[in-house]
A and B are shown apart, each in its own frame.
Chain A
Amino acid sequence: MIALRTLLLTFLVVLVSGSRSFAQATEAPTDDVRSVLTDLITGNGTEEDNLARLSEFGDPVIKDIVEAWRVGKVFVSPGTEPDTQVALLKTDDGFVNIANGQAWQGDPSVASVNRASRGLRKQLSRLVDVLDLASPDLSKRADSAMKLGSGQSPDFLAELQTRLPKQTDRKTRRAFEEAIAISQLANGSTAEKIASLELLGERHLIAARDFIKRMREGYTTDETPDGQLILVKADAALASIASFEKKVEFYGTLFRGLSLGSVLLIVAYGLAITFGLMGVINMAHGEFIAIGAYTVYVVQNFFAAHFGEASSGYESYFLVSLPLAFLVAAFFGAVLERTVIRFLYKRPLESLLATWGISMIIQQALRLKFGAANVSVASPQWLSGSFDANGVTMTYNRIFVIIFALVVVLFTWLLLRRTRIGLHMRATMQNRAMASGLGIPANRINVFTFAFGSGLAGLAGAFLSQIGNVGPSMGQAYIVDSFMVVVIGGVGNLFGAAVSSLGIGMIDQSLQPILGPVMGKITVLIGIILFLQWRPGGLFPSRSRSLDD
């Protein structure tokens, strides 16, 4: 039915377009948009013909010229060949030949203002409205179709239907069909309405829900059989959309929970090593995160200064800054271990105080160096943006963080379990004196382990610079969460930390829509305290026969 109608309409449009043959009108025109514009302005060929040709282009230049024409900035001048004319655009520095976009060198005195007739102006403004429908950018085309469809104006409905058969791209075609269906809810016949409802229900288009609801309100229960049928169909479509929305919400929460959990995991993994394995209550963990984030900031500025912000070299600054953030934070970690921490291995509670002092110092040093205000770190192009997976919006940086977290976990596991130094690390962390007695260079291992944990914090900071603020006290926001993750996972158990961060992320994200962000967080914290009643050692407690472990 729809197809037949569109075909008919197309045919009509073709008829209107006059002398041009059917084939020429439907084939993608090979001639240049500027020459068509020139033809239209200079009156070369019939107006209808030129308009029809013009409607095949989605070039934004049309909009500019039409606007200029309206305000009297389009001129014509006799051309070099006899009986030809040149269309000109008046700009601040002289005339531009519309046909080629170059500056026009002719005599300005022979140029005269050209104005379009009222009828032509009206048609042109409509043409501009639907300009994006022919845009070469397919997503722009689909967006424009949805916009025009949502306007539910009968004029545009015809336009959409005319253009539907020309859409070869599957996604764009679907967008056109959906736009037409939405428009038909207001403008179509009963049969069309029913067909539209069926289509929208089948496609469970969330954007269409309000339109269906509005249309449904127009019908009362005592309707003709047709009206009854529409009501039934509308309810069915609404139900289908609602169930789809629930599904989208569920997967959306799942995805957000996973990505929040991954952020937590990356943030807490360094602490799982310095606190969980080494027993150092590292209150300066948050500041190592800040060091990593500031490293990214410095690298970004370096790249911007040396390659320029538009270059492709600048785009890769983030990849370069990742290892650097790790190394810089690891270096500071090593320095901290050598100067302070090594005196405190037997006094864990005092390591808390000393690192608290360190955290004050680092925060203030950052403040003095970079200023107290947050600094801005731009996301590279390839990390910004998102794609839509069947209704669930996934931003690239959220996907990146999940992958990144996986890599961190895998890399740490390989290091600890599959290398000699990992073996030494585990031995030293279990019993420093014994490991040292067996010939393991315990001091060097301590430095290495602490530096590795700090480096992971730096990596976390590098990532956080992409999703949050970078400021001197940015680390403070994560310190409580990080400790919670480690305690819940079971101190000393890296796998536990991974599980608990994902779990906390999921629970947080599922509570947030119900309780709001703050109450959700409070509930999670109280939940954690209660959880430890049930399992004081966390999810995966370390097994030991020692009484005080």
Chain B
Amino acid sequence: MPPRKNLVETILFAIATLVFLVVMPALNLLPEDSTFHLSSFTLGVWGKYLCFAVLAMSLNFLWGYTGLLCLGQNLFFALGGYALGMYLMLMIGPDPVYKSALPDFMDFLGYKELPPHWKPFHSFPFAVAAVMWVPGLLAFIFGILAFRSRIKGVYFSILTQALTYAASLLFFRNDFTFGGNNGFTDFKTILGHDLRDPATLRGIFIASGVLLLLTWMLISWLLSTKFGKVQQAIRDSENRVRFSGYSTTSFKLFVFTLSGVLAGLAGALYVPQAGIINPSEMVAAKGLDVVVWVAVGGRGTKIGPIIGAIVVNLLKSWATREFAESWPLILGGLFVFVVVFMPQGIVGLPAQLRDIKTKLATRKAATTQPA
């Protein structure tokens, strides 16, 4: 019943719009002593969750709808973050200790002037463009290499992990001009607005909400087009699609590049809210985290990754607080349980329960009938 499904999606979309763009920012505006006041800190945390949700959606677009499991989605996320981080670093302004306009880590390393590839990042539009084209270009090049030689399935996953691993090694180096181990931090302003000002944070939160809703709309629209049908057909049987005369390579390349761009945008909005970006965002474990969000929420569904990203992160922040020692046991156990017993994730849970109910009913009928 497609129409009804669309109706549900429309209602959910409306609720999300209301909550993320109106209710939460409004609660933040209430006076601080009000019971309903939402602190800027909490808003910032939710802002990060929204960015994670977009990251999960970008992976779901790739994995859930095209069947390509990328273990390096966090690499594109981090690259987007680094691109905006470069702009934010340059906006810090002259340093009182070193009396130079260079980022601190460059003063440490004895740079006299800005490396050439840093110079254009004084411009905000350039930085935003870089947020999209840097991850996009990397995804495009890697995609050409991988899809042309028909690397797929598990091999694709492992290679993306290796790529991420290589990139993190590179970014951990001090002489790579991206701050090495420590990355970028101590941001002060964005577009002239103070990053500690609640109004600025609220603005970035709303921007994250808008990005999430736009991504949702874009993916939803793409999936309803002929392109989306081919894309899902590739997931179900790539060979049949190819034999039908479609260049599956181009389709996959487009999907991979687009998902890289979306992840980069999410990373860019994440950085001012987290206040830091460093190579630990690129380690292999983070890439697997994203996969887990999608799997827990329900892959191949539009709302699943959003729910998964928010639920898993809420659970993680709760578990780390309550069970400082044993939270990985809880989270690890949850993943195993979800994978083994809930292949459709949280979103698929009602259908799964219905299935079980009907199965039980038929079994009951079967046992009572023969008499």
Q: Which residues of A contact B (CB under 8 A)?
A: 281, 283, 340, 343-344, 347-350, 352-354, 356-361, 363-365, 368, 476, 479-480, 483-484, 487, 491, 518, 521-522, 525-526, 528-530, 532-534, 536, 547-548
Contacts and interface: CB of A to CB of B under 8 A. Distances in A.
Contact of B166 (A352, A487, A522, A532): A522
A518 B332 contact: no
A350 B157 CA distance: 12
A211 to B, nearest CB: 36
B145 A533 contact: yes
Interface stretch (B39-47, B125-133, B284-292): B284-292
Contact of B151 (A358, A363, A536, A547): A536
Given A348-B154, A479-B284, 4 more contacts: A344-B339, A349-B153, A360-B331, A360-B335
B158 interface: yes
Nearest to A281: B154
Contacts of A356: 288, 291-292, 335
A347 B69 CA distance: 13
A363 B328 CA distance: 8
Contact of B292 (A353, A368, A536): A353
Nearest to B167: A522
Given A343-B340, A521-B169, A533-B148, A357 B333 contact: yes
Given A522-B166, A525-B166, A364 B329 contact: yes
Interface string B146-176: 0011110111011101110110011011000
B335 A353 contact: yes
B328 A340 contact: no
Contacts of B367: none
A406 B8 CA distance: 61
Contacts of B151: 532, 536
Contacts of A522: 166, 169-170
Nearest to B294: A353
B343 interface: yes
Nearest to A518: B169
B322 interface: no
A361 B333 contact: yes
Point out which of A353, A518, A522 has the most chain B C-beta atoms below 10 A from its C-beta.
Answer: A353
A350 B339 contact: yes
B334 interface: yes
B159 A480 contact: no
Contacts of A528: 162
11 contacts: A283-B288, A344-B340, A349-B153, A357-B331, A358-B332, A476-B284, A522-B166, A532-B149, A533-B148, A533-B149, A548-B239
- Which size bracket describes the interface of B in this complex? 35 or more
Nearest to B142: A529
Contacts of B69: 349, 352
Nearest to A525: B166
Contact of B158 (A361, A476, A487, A526): A487
Interface in B165-189: 165-166, 169-170, 172-173
Contacts, number: 116
A281 B145 CA distance: 23
Contact of A483 (B162, B163, B333): B162
Contact of B332 (A352, A357, A521, A548): A357
A548 to B, nearest CB: 7
Interface of B: 69, 142, 145, 148-151, 153-155, 157-159, 161-163, 165-166, 169-170, 172-173, 239, 284-285, 288, 291-292, 295, 325-326, 328-329, 331-336, 339-340, 343
B166 A526 contact: yes
Nearest to B296: A353
Point out which of A350, A363, A479 has the most chain B C-beta atoms below 10 A from its C-beta.
Answer: A350
B-side interface mostly:
helix
Contacts of B148: 533
Contacts of B326: 364, 368
A255 to B, nearest CB: 25
Contacts of A533: 145, 148-149
A525 to B, nearest CB: 4
A360 B328 contact: yes
Contacts of A525: 162-163, 165-166
Nearest to A523: B166
B169 A354 contact: no
Nearest to A479: B284
A545 to B, nearest CB: 13
B284 A364 contact: no
Contact of B343 (A347, A352, A361, A529): A347
A353 B149 contact: no
A267 B154 CA distance: 20
A483 B165 CA distance: 12
A354 B239 CA distance: 28
Contacts of B329: 360-361, 364-365
A340 B162 contact: no
A350 B149 contact: no
Nearest to A365: B329
